[in-house]
Amino acid sequence: MVVAEHEGQPAGMTLNSFASVSLEPLLVLVSLGHGARTLDAVRRSGRFAVSMLRRGQRQVALDFAERGAPFPAGHVERAGDGQLVVRHALAELRCSVHGIVTAGDHDVVLGAVTAFSGGEGEPLVFHAGRFGHVAADAAAPAGFDAFLGEGIGW
Ligand SMILES: Cc1cc2nc3c(=O)[nH]c(=O)nc-3n(C[C@H](O)[C@H](O)[C@H](O)COP(=O)(O)O)c2cc1C
């Protein structure tokens, strides 16, 4: 999950294109599709937060994956520095924008990590179009036609 806020307008989206990039300095990347409101908020505010969801937070992932839907404010809270993060997430990284590289129809946003917290637990997995632990659970994001056994991608 990525959440950003510009001039009081929050935006967030479910995301699996996350990777660690560098240890010194500590950099990560996320890849945000052109047209996503979150990308706009990240570009304008110059900062964003990445929250790693717990296995039990499938509904959070679904609520943030609906293009154009109202911001699901009940799922977030403010961290100490005022940034919005997902409530009860397994881990969170708060970042300032280090650089942006346009790559096809996405922007790859490099984030310099300004704060990190993490706890114990099992992460929510998205694999072959399904949420859960490997193939145990299954749910399709709203608006996607899918059935068990078929990858839906995003
Ligand atoms: C499991 C999952 C992973 C996703 N990963 C990405 C991603 O890495 N990058 C991206 O641009 N959209 C990704 N999406 C799609 C966005 O969450 C979705 O388009 C979102 O609604 C965009 O926000 P918007 O309403 O501001 O357009 C993913 C969706 C799902 C369900």
Query: What would the pLDDT profile of 15-64 be if each residue is shown by its tens digit?
Result: 999 999 999 999 999 999 999 999 999 999 999 999 999 989 999 999 99
Residues 79 and 141: their CA atoms lie apart, in Å, by 27
Q: Is the torsion defined by CA of 56, 117, 2, 32 positive or negative?
A: negative
Contact residues for 56 (Cβ-Cβ < 8 A; gap 6+): 124
Q: Which domains does the chain have, with CATH numbers?
A: 2-132 (2.30.110.10)
Pocket test residue of 1, 2, 3, 15 for ligand 1, highest count of atoms within 8 A of CB: 15
C-alpha 127/C-alpha 129 separation (Å) is 5
User: What pLDDT shows up at residue 144?
Assistant: 59
Atom of ligand 1 nearest to the CA of 39: 26
What average pLDDT does range 105-124 have in this prediction? 94
- Specify the higher pLDDT residue, 67 or 146: 67
Q: How far is the CA of 114 from the centre of ligand 1 (A)?
A: 24
